[in-house]
Amino acid sequence: MFFSKPDGNCVCSGTSQLNSEADAIWTAGHCVLGGSGGTCFSNWTFVPAYDVD
């Protein structure tokens, strides 16, 4: 997952759950929100099967 924080662009791991009821992407909370009372990060892109090698 690629996203933007106020101080620059970042990357975090994530996984997807796709089914007929609803689709979801899961990641760690610190990848989404800038701490207690912080703002949600923006500019999200999820790349399934992304490999850094």
Question: Does pTM surpass 0.85?
Answer: no
Please tell me the predicted confidence (pLDDT) of residue 10: 92
Residues contacting residue 6 through CB under 8 Å, at least 6 positions apart: 34, 39
Q: What is the pLDDT of residue 53?
A: 76
CA distance 11 to 50: 11
pLDDT tens for each residue of the chain, 53 residues long: 999 998 899 999 998 998 888 889 999 988 888 888 888 999 999 988 888 77
Burial category of 49 from C-beta neighbours within 10 Å (exposed 0-12, middle 13-18, buried 19 and up): exposed
